[in-house]
A and B are shown apart, each in its own frame.
Chain A
């Protein structure tokens, strides 16, 4: 919302502030000023000049030489403007002065344009006559300005006077951010009331009085509200003998400053009242209203209606319409119809000042894609009391401006109007709540300017109906706080029972995982939770994959962001691809983020949100580098039992021979592998890439930060090396499994120290050598102890068809 300071001052006459003081104080009392614009910015040394004589320039066809009276003296100005004539009064910028912009109306330069005297084609020119664009405005806002050329001022403008002032440009326009609860502040009067309260000045609102003639409005028109739930009040008054013409300058200036283009007196009055009271109005040409009757009711599904912007709109049964006796003539609170539009021939007008249901209005405007100035106000939910004041104010202005003859009386269709509310007023409670020590008298003094009354006997405050936001004691506490000053409220820390600051176990596990991933060289990435349904094809998932059962967003930003991810790989592969495409080398990334698995579709309960650790890299390293990271993580989380890897992970997006499902103590934890070349192609990644995913809820189940000291070995170890030849298809994991299961208590560790295929080894076989270490806690092992265990291990290996090498 934008409003000129001069308009605020019209209701707070004693207000004397600079733009910055106003901005700061209003912001601190709750009416946030987003910024302001001084209309006289870069307008310097500009006075009213009167053209005394015009002569042709001797050396230029398109230039003229003017003698101009600027009060104290006469100066000579050369101009190319086509529109000036002798006797015209014009804004003249003098030597050394400044204008805001060029005559083409382009963007205004930050520091304006300096004007100096000089010669034009050899003839002295002492200054410049200004167009409206040079004064930083436009024909939109000054409709009386000529299309081309110099702005001609009023005939009564005093020669030599400050032209900027006379044009109403010695003003500041403030832009406010009004919060949605302060419906009353979407109006100049509302803001002025706040300004008066903020600066402790008197608030002088208009007291509209439109007597009207001796006739009765009810003889001219009638109103019936069918859907009273959507229209709590409808006020109507009639004006006849309309005389259209421009509205007065003061009204035009105020509208222009608010960003509203002046049109004619009738339109300007409705706009003016809309800004002043925050109450949108509509004017119907009564002669086009069939039966001179207004009926307010819902549209029918499928109705079509042409609004006054010429567009045909499709309606539905939740759109509230204004009808006459025969047809729809306007969308209530949004836009009037082409069929009842005011034309220059208008004679009699019905002014509508109604109150429509805010929510319905907002939703209708949204469905129709038609948000107007009016709907922008109605959607907030207006105070029905305001409608009467507004329509009377409009009629008062009609009379004042001689725009027509107001018919006596007002049509008023309404139910019960909101009445002032009573809220308990307990100053001690407010102080206890705010942590302040504000006296009762001070609190009461803040209420007066806000028109909040205090009922001492009842211990209550009485809140005016227009303050729909004040409902409970906390609201009253806020009124006290903001006029006492948020900045004056002391700062303390909560006392009371001590609480323990901590992270949940899940978050601690995640922290440990991040630590290891980063130590292993992986940097943390973040990707979106929603993605395109196309990712499943990119990842080669079969059509019946359960991962294709997704939570779908009803109103996504586009198909590419329309489903909640059920697998975390797309984000990772996309990030790797981004890096690859930018020629970054050796990229290692990890992400901790949720996937969303619906329990049933359509969704009736919240989906299962499962945190996934996703690791991905390309460049230096291979499958086993990544496997190492997984094991480091498990180690860090106290998961020191054997991790098993099943090559039959069944992941279509991974290399069929280079993938493994990761299990721990019989539970699947995730998978890792090399990305399938076809998937790499789909993501435009030009080299081998590896990924691993851990399902964190499962990891969290097994993770533990408890550690127990188990002693360090004091007796020597015995190491035995075995060398085997086996079928290539047997995985070393099976050998390890045999060592582990048969190794018993004495087994301390084992490691693979040789793996060989090729010459000297039979086709289809490989040579594998392990070094196995045994140790007892309580004694030095003897050969026979170790031999016993080794025999068991070797027997098991033999069982598996593995031969010892000679």
Chain B
């Protein structure tokens, strides 16, 4: 009996070791361990074994079964692994074949620039507000210390709808509309479309965008204006940007300034980009004129503030090195795809 079992074990293990397919393993299982299998046959022959031998032989049969099962599992695992490996080998792909893209659309460069500016100012606690594009003369000029007949009205070549309604020539009217609401303090930026009757060329468009900024609070100083815009310029153009404030004139701010930043292409050495000066003009700003505050019922003795206006296209053109403003309004997909 013992020899028989040993024979079965050896034969089974040999067949297991020689098997190359999962199906063969199954056949082996059936052949040895199945209902009609050899080992089962041995168990059936237990009847002929004496009572005292039976537990020992039973143990031997069980041991043999366990060994065969273990080897079967072992072999099965190895074969499965081999099968998987072969499958993986077959499934090799050429990863350099073209990608299947979702073809996500692209933002307009103006929008990218605007979002950058918004991010900076929202981070500093500014609210983003809007105002009408078709505007009353009052808000566009009168309330901004530009009465009828003021030469600044000519400088801006405004489109008129009638005597009192026009296409806003600047985003500054949103300053007035915000102040009029009477909620202080104010920290806001107002991006939007503005219109001036300039013929279309590489640097002009009758319709473009500005971003107005306004801060009104107690004790706001010119130094605060400088600090804020320096921070802005560094965020937008890079940490090593230098900022220059030049005296200028706007009817609705006093003192007023124009702001230049060091050319970010040549870092101030002078290049074709900055026309050799090393500086690039980016915005106009100033302390809100007391007349403007008074028109909005804000007491200039108690409150002060600053305002600034940035040309969005100017920023976009500079930052993304776009050499012709017309490209911004043609919507050629080959242009848009570059952003």
Best-buried of A469, A472, A499 by chain B (most CB within 10 Å):
A499
B233 to chain A, nearest CB (A): 11
A607, closest chain B residue (CB):
B134
B254 touches A474 (CB 8 A): yes
Are A482 and B247 within 8 A (Cβ)? yes
On chain B, the residues within 8 Å of A596 by CB distance are: 133-134
Least distance between A502 CB and chain B CB atoms (Å) = 6
A176 to chain B, nearest CB (A): 13
Which listed residue (B130, B134, B206, B331) contacts A606, Cβ 8 A?
Answer: B134
Given contacts A433-B304, A525-B108, contact A507 B255 (CB under 8 A): no
Chain B residues with CB under 8 Å of A646's CB are none
**Chain A residue contacts of B167, Cβ below 8 A:** 529-530, 553, 564
- Which of B186, B221, B291 has the most chain A CB within a 10 Å cutoff? B221
Q: Most B CB atoms within 10 A — which of A28, A432, A606? A: A606
User: Which segment, of B39-47, B83-91, B154-162, faces chain A?
Assistant: B154-162
Minimum distance in angstroms from A505 CB to a CB of chain B: 11
B227 touches A491 (CB 8 A): yes
Chain A residue with the shortest CB-CB distance to B115: A511
Give the distance in Å from the alpha carbon of A223 to the alpha carbon of B331 in the complex.
63
Q: How far is the CA of A493 from the CA of B106 in the complex (A)?
A: 35
Kindly state whether residue A778 has any CB partner on chain B within 8 Å: no
Contact of B221 among A362, A432, A482, A521 (CB under 8 A): A432
Distance between Cα atoms of A286 and B332 in the complex (Å): 66
User: Chain B residue with minimal CB distance to A31?
Assistant: B247
Q: Which residues of B contact A519 (CB under 8 A)?
A: 102, 104-105
A603 touches B165 (CB 8 A): yes
Mark A472-508 against chain B: 1 for CB-CB distance below 8 A, else 0.
1111011001100011011111111111111110110
**Residues in chain B near residue A528, CB distance under 8 A:** 206-207, 329
Instruction: Report the bound CA distance from A198 to B132 in whole Å.
Output: 43
CB of B226 closer than 8 Å to a CB of A: yes
From B105, B130, B151, B215, A507 is in contact (CB under 8 Å) with B130
Q: Which of A478, A521, A556 contacts B254 (CB 8 A)?
A: A478
On whether the beta carbons of B162 and A179 are closer than 8 Å, the reply is no
State whether A609 and B105 are in contact (beta carbons under 8 Å apart), knowing that A497-B185, A501-B122, A514-B111 are contacts in the complex.
Answer: no
User: Is B287 within 8 A of A474, CB to CB?
Assistant: yes
- Least distance between A559 CB and chain B CB atoms (Å): 14
Q: Mark B157-197, 1 if CB is under 8 A from A, else 0.
A: 00111100101000000000000000001110000010101
Please pick, from B103, B161, B187, B248, the residue contacting A179 in the complex, using a CB distance under 8 A: B248
Is B107 in contact with A526, judged by CB distance below 8 angstroms?
Answer: no
Q: Is B78 an interface residue (CB 8 A)?
A: no
User: Can you name the residue of chain A whose Cβ is closest to the Cβ of B207?
Assistant: A528
8 Å CB contacts to B: which residues of A537-566?
551-557, 561, 564
**Interface-centre pick from B102, B151, B331 (highest chain A CB count, 10 A):** B331
Determine whether the beta carbon of A478 is less than 8 Å from that of B110. Answer: no
Cβ of B321 under 8 Å from chain A = no
Render A571-615 as a binary contact track against B, CB cut-off 8 A, 1 for contact: 000010011001010011110011010000011001101000000
**Is B81 interfacial (CB-CB < 8 Å)?**
no
A518 touches B107 (CB 8 A): yes
Which residues of chain A are within 8 angstroms of B104 by Cβ–Cβ distance? Answer: 518-519, 521
Does B141 belong to the interface (CB within 8 Å)? no
Contact of B123 with A by CB under 8 A: yes
> Measured between alpha carbons, how far is A32 from B197 in the docked complex, in Å?
25
Q: Are B222 and A493 in contact (CB under 8 A)?
A: no
* Across-interface contacts of A489 in B (CB, < 8 A): 222-223, 226, 245
User: Using Cβ atoms and an 8 Å threshold, which residues of chain B touch A523?
Assistant: 105-108, 331, 333, 336-337
Bound: A689/B60 CA distance, A? 83
In the complex, the answer to whether B111 meets A504 with C-beta atoms within 8 Å is: no
* Interface check B295, CB cutoff 8 A: no
Pair B249/A28 contact, Cβ less than 8 Å: no
Contacts of A518 in B (CB 8 A): 104-107
Known: A521-B103, A525-B331, A553-B167. A502 touches B128 (CB 8 A): yes
User: Could you tell me the distance between the alpha carbons of A223 and B228 in the complex, rounded to whole angstroms?
Assistant: 57
B270 to A: closest C-beta gap in Å? 12
Q: How far is the CB of B118 from chain A (nearest CB, A)?
A: 7
Question: Which residue of the partner chain, among B130, B230, B251, B256, contacts A478 with CB atoms under 8 Å?
Answer: B256
Chain B CB within 8 A of A435 CB: yes
Contacting B246 at CB < 8 Å: which of A32, A366, A499, A606? Answer: A32
Interface positions of A from 355 to 375, Cβ below 8 Å from B: 358-359, 362-363, 366
Q: Chain A residues near B135: list those with CB within 8 A.
A: 606
A448 vs B221: C-alpha distance when bound (angstroms): 25
Measured CB to CB, the nearest residue on chain B to A358 is: B151
Chain B residues with CB below 8 A from A501, complex form: 121-127, 187
**Most chain A CB atoms below 10 A, which of B159, B215, B287, B337:** B159
Q: Which among B151, B162, B328 has the highest number of chain A CB atoms within 10 Å?
A: B151
B269 within 8 A of A: no
Q: Is A594 a contact partner of B133 (Cβ separation < 8 A)? A: yes
Contact A433 B336 (CB under 8 A): no
Q: Tell which of A379, A473, A491, A578 touches B330, judged by Cβ atoms closer than 8 Å.
A: A578
Which residues of the other chain, B, contact A32 by a CB distance below 8 angstroms?
Answer: 246, 248
State which of A380, A435, A474, A496 has its C-beta within 8 Å of the C-beta of B185.
A496
- Closest B residue to A554 using CB positions: B160
**Residue on A nearest B197 in the bound complex, by CB:** A557
Instruction: Assess whether A486 is in contact with B185, with CB atoms less than 8 Å apart.
Output: no
Q: Are B118 and A493 in contact, with the CB atoms below 8 A?
A: no
Whether B247 pairs with A29 at a CB distance below 8 angstroms is yes
**Docked-complex contact B255 and A474, CB < 8 angstroms:** yes
Are A584 and B111 closer than 8 Å at their CB atoms? no
Interface residue? A181 (CB, 8 A): yes
Residues of chain A within 8 A of B337, CB atoms compared: 523
Q: Is B289 an interface position by the 8 A CB rule?
A: yes
Q: Chain A CB within 10 Å — which of B102, B152, B155, B207 has the most?
A: B207
Determine if B244 and A487 form an interchain contact, defined as CB atoms under 8 angstroms apart: yes
Shortest distance from the beta carbon of A139 to any chain B beta carbon, whole Å: 31
Q: Are A478 and B255 in contact (CB under 8 A)?
A: yes
If A435-B221, A474-B287 touch, whether A575 touches B330 (CB-CB below 8 Å) is yes
Q: Are A30 and B247 in contact (CB under 8 A)?
A: yes
Count chain B CB atoms within 10 A of each CB in A496, A596, A603 and give the residue with the most: A496
Are B133 and A609 interface neighbours, CB within 8 A? yes
Do B105 and A517 touch across chains, with their CB atoms under 8 A apart?
Answer: yes
Asked whether any CB of chain B lies closer than 8 Å to the CB of A182, the reply is yes
Instruction: For B253, give the chain A residue with the smallest CB separation.
Output: A474
Is there contact, CB below 8 Å, between B332 and A527?
A: no
Contact A578 B151 (CB under 8 A): no
Quick one: which of B126, B195, B247, B290 contacts A481, CB cutoff 8 A? B247
Asked if A522 is an interface residue, CB under 8 A from chain B, the answer is: yes
**CB interface residues, B 180-239, toward A, < 8 Å:** 185-187, 193, 195, 197, 199, 206-207, 215, 217-224, 226-228, 230-231
A640 close to chain B: CB less than 8 A: no
A667 CB within 8 Å of chain B: no
- 8 A-B contacts, Cβ less than 8 Å apart? A28-B246, A472-B254, A481-B222, A519-B104, A524-B105, A526-B328, A554-B159, A578-B330
Interface residues of A (CB under 8 A from B): 27-30, 32, 179-182, 358-359, 362-363, 366, 379-380, 432-436, 469, 472-475, 477-478, 481-482, 486-487, 489-504, 506-507, 514, 517-530, 551-557, 561, 564, 575, 578-579, 582, 584, 587-590, 593-594, 596, 602-603, 606-607, 609
User: Given A496-B218, A554-B159, A602-B162, 7 more contacts at CB 8 Å?
Assistant: A182-B249, A486-B257, A494-B228, A499-B126, A520-B105, A530-B167, A575-B331
Which 10 residue pairs of A and B lie closest in terms of their CB atoms, listed nearest first?
A435-B223, A435-B221, A30-B247, A478-B255, A525-B331, A179-B249, A359-B149, A501-B122, A575-B331, A491-B227
